[in-house]
Structure 1
């Protein structure tokens, strides 16, 4: 299966705002599109995200967005980045959508967390069951058959797998797995015992660290909007 890129998942139904738009328009659009943030542009350049929290500080409905100190100016992905990076960034920043920039570093659109997660497709079996596991490793150590054996030894199966180069190290890869179980404790313990680095996990059951659980809870909140 070819890797899904950010540009493949752009949501054409969510429009950007302009700096000349007012806070009242921004509030109306946030409600209309059922999102907690919207991108703001200056021409074709991405300036940042306007949030519900930002608008609470401005009582004048005619205040232009260009007058507001917007956040998230550096929170975006390039059009050719893997969709997992979209989901990872959204969860890290606790936002519902991630702006996408094109080859000229101009605004191309947004991808929502729901769109990114849906790229994996539905999980067969019990509703709510399933998880995502992300491993990083040296490219020479990659063997999907070996990893699949470790997973199956723990009574689970790999439903889909995506391999991309690590953005920070050309000799390493990132493997994103969709599993048919939401219990990752034994699987991650097995993989780590054999030298694999578990860089992220999203499941329907509590995970070891508070940070991981917080990230998963945040993901569920995004998907419920």
Structure 2
């Protein structure tokens, strides 16, 4: 059984009265040597919007939830669109912003705005968060937002059954471990290097089936060993 206490003031501040909002059982964010800091202390929401229909012939970088891969935050099936192809008013993002998917947040779709879509517009189902670079670095923040420190709360704090969403204030109240900026730089370099390597391996893996078939065909034509050709 979950048991907790909450003041009337706490109830008034919440967007929805769910017992999970006032009970910390099952969370483990305290398992860190670093200070815990709420997201509202290190990010701000970018609120600018744009109506793509007002610029029907302009090519825009538009990012929808379907364009973000779960966990990794990689862009998938992305291509710029004409304004006339985008039917609804969209949020503006700039390089270094974090796009956090608020619809079905358990899908864990968190995108760091960088090439090939370092700036543009996105679905209203994202929160556009701008990190305070004096306090937190972008790759570190994106990775932490996609980690268990946030997901353990997201599972319980989403509201709605058919189309569950996470309210912005609930997201901003979540606490994450925040190392000093000089230590974050080590994390930043690690993440940039490892994600670049992961993407390289992913491309190689996607090309491997065709390379295997081509090696067999080549070997049949010239009487060679396919394993040698594939090296």
TM-score by length of 1: 0.25
Indicate the structure with greater strand content. 1
Relative CO higher for 1 or 2, CA cutoff 8 Å, sep ≥ 6? 2
Q: Which has the larger radius of gyration?
A: 2
TM-score by length of 2: 0.24
Indicate the structure with greater helix content. 2
